[in-house]
Amino acid sequence: MAKPRRHNQPWTKEEIALLRAHYRKGTLHRIIAAELKRTLVAIESKAVELGISGKRKKK
């Protein structure tokens, strides 16, 4: 499996803003990962780091 393009790259302010917006909407992790070209683990880890992991809307 090929690595996502953003592998091992720092998060930009824009990516963080998009992650926060997607969490507010309750977007699935795999969709966020595809849009940001990051792994599922990277998405989940950053959400925990930002303190937003428990704040997802349930669909």
DSSP string, 7-54: TT-PPPHHHHHHHHHHHHHT--HHHHHHHHT--HHHHHHHHHHHT-TT
pLDDT at 4: 59
Residue 15 amino acid letter:
E
Residue 4 falls inside a structural domain: no
The count of structural domains within the chain is 1
Residue 3 falls inside a structural domain: no
Residue 8 falls inside a structural domain: no
Query: Six-digit token pair at 44?
Result: 């989940």
Domain span at residue 17 reads 13-50
Residue 7 falls inside a structural domain: no
Residue 38 falls inside a structural domain: yes
**What is the model's pTM?**
0.81
pLDDT at 1: 47
Residue 18 falls inside a structural domain: yes
Residue 55 falls inside a structural domain: no
**Pick the residue with more confidence: 59 or 26?**
26
Residue 56 falls inside a structural domain: no
